[in-house]
Structure 1
């Protein structure tokens, strides 16, 4: 099959058809992924049907791969199962937090570099994944607004996300969330290259030095700005799709689905290479 490359929009996403299975685990494809990640932020391989061995091989060509902290798939400790079914995923109880806009590892010093996600089973209802370009959102702000945001800092926490997905959680559960260390980051992340992006999402708990109401209003406004149609895309999964995205500058969220939907993804994640600064 001939390979076709189609930008999804001017601001985010590129879709590639005609590559599948072991042919994805090659230096050529790894170079292709790196190039398109820089330009589009999200790279979609339609119906790639990549197995765990090739998923890990491709991931290793792109960077250092994180070993799944709660145990990976048999023979492939780097591969995490993503599901709401506890029999399929050890972290199923926390997956509802992924229904909110976030980047992975936002409360770490060095967030993960990129994520590779492939669809083994697609939800019968819901389960699409949305992405939003935080670089483009920052660049589209007025010069005055960029200056206003330049020195602000935000505390990110696991608890902030869990409060959204479990607003009525008992005190004991909330106390457990609060034990997970939080992290203070600049609101605007400046890369070594000079490129800048907003750092917002469900983990953003509060802006340092602002009153609670003012802080929440600012964070909500910036999130709404960053996730508007101009900067975002919605991926409707097909069986076998592989999506790779720049986790440091692209927000993502899953559209709500239920355990009964049978949605099952396999994921690898790349170690971050640049601290937030």
Structure 2
């Protein structure tokens, strides 16, 4: 018998639960439907599926090519404990709206996070649907955004959490480089989404005050209701999101609490294009 994808929408414009069993998910029979639903809904929640690292990696492989971390891992621990994760400095930027892989030729398609250790308070992960946010802009706004490009850089993110960095750290972040990207991403599907987040520094050719006001207004719009979803974690949850059409951030939690999630990623399949 054909396995049917069992779903429940969480909010009208973002996020659905997948209610199939672990065995059904690992079979790969549902992969095409999951990928289609991911683009439509932005965020998919697999409540208390309790994947091991090996199972999470196997499930990720049913959906596409696995993207390795810069350090080579296929499964990456997300933690601010330096004994658990080598990416503590990099993870400090995760408390601000962003999407992953801004500097890559093809940003990753999707991320998958499994919850292993919960904080005593806080620590939700928030998402917003930048497809839906673009779709509901006025025609006047859409016309104004047409053709605009934005400079993105890692060092812009640094200033969010360390406004007075030492020179060595600033130079290290600047060495990553910067990139000019369209403010509106026209996907190969023909759909459009907003390209925003804490890496966005300024709109090319626009006066800096006007640029700051525009980027802030669009971020405020995209992260508002009804495009927003906040996931309150239970141990064993898996959450997957379309990195090409959502922004995400972690909500504050006690930094020394040992909160831990494990991430796998899908390789990007298209560049950001106007």
TM-score of the superposed pair, with normalisation by structure 2: 0.94
Deviation, 1:18, is 5.2
1:236 to 232, 235, 253: 232
Is 1:43 the counterpart of 2:44 in the alignment?
yes
1:100 to 96, 99, 107: 96
Summarize the alignment of residues 3-22 of structure 1 with structure 2, pairs less than 5 Å apart: 5-17=7-19, 19-20=21-22, 22=23
> Could you list the per-position Cα deviations for residues 181-231 of structure 1 after superposition, in whole angstroms to 9, with x for gaps in the alignment?
211111000012210011011111111011211111111110000000210
CA contact (8 A) 1:86 1:93 kept: no
Indicate the residue corresponding to 1:34 in structure 2. 35
> Could you list the per-position Cα deviations for residues 41-82 of structure 1 after superposition, in whole angstroms to 9, with x for gaps in the alignment?
11100001001111111111211111222243xxxxx00000
User: Where does structure 1 lack aligned partners over 5 or more consecutive residues?
Assistant: 73-77
CA contact (8 A) 1:125 1:261 kept: no
Summarize the alignment of residues 91-130 of structure 1 with structure 2, pairs less than 5 Å apart: 91-130=87-126
Indicate the residue corresponding to 1:133 in structure 2. 129
Structure 1 residues 18 and 122 mapped into 2: Cα distance closer, same or farther (>3 Å)? Answer: farther
Whole-angstrom CA distance in 2 between matches of 1:121 and 1:71: 23
Kindly report the root-mean-square deviation, in angstroms, between the aligned alpha carbons of the 2 structures.
1.6
Whole-angstrom CA distance in 1 between matches of 2:6 and 2:48: 13
CA contact (8 A) 2:35 2:63 kept: yes
What secondary structure does 1:229 align onto? coil
Q: How many residue pairs end up in the alignment?
A: 270
User: Where does structure 2 lack aligned partners over 5 or more consecutive residues?
Assistant: none
Deviation, 1:168, is 2.0
CA contact (8 A) 2:146 2:184 kept: yes
Deviation, 1:123, is 1.5
Whole-angstrom CA distance in 1 between matches of 2:61 and 2:6: 25
> Could you list the per-position Cα deviations for residues 3-29 of structure 1 after superposition, in whole angstroms to 9, with x for gaps in the alignment?
952201110000133523x54322123
Whole-angstrom CA distance in 2 between matches of 1:272 and 1:102: 16
* Structure 1 residue runs of 4 or more that deviate by more than 6 Å after TM superposition: none
Indicate the residue corresponding to 1:62 in structure 2. 63
Deviation, 1:172, is 1.7
What secondary structure does 2:226 align onto? helix
Indicate the residue corresponding to 2:80 in structure 1. 84
2:179 to 175, 179, 183: 183
Whole-angstrom CA distance in 1 between matches of 2:163 and 2:122: 22
CA contact (8 A) 1:24 1:50 kept: no
1:261 to 257, 264, 269: 257
Deviation, 1:94, is 2.2
> Could you list the per-position Cα deviations for residues 126-151 of structure 1 after superposition, in whole angstroms to 9, with x for gaps in the alignment?
11000000000001011111011011
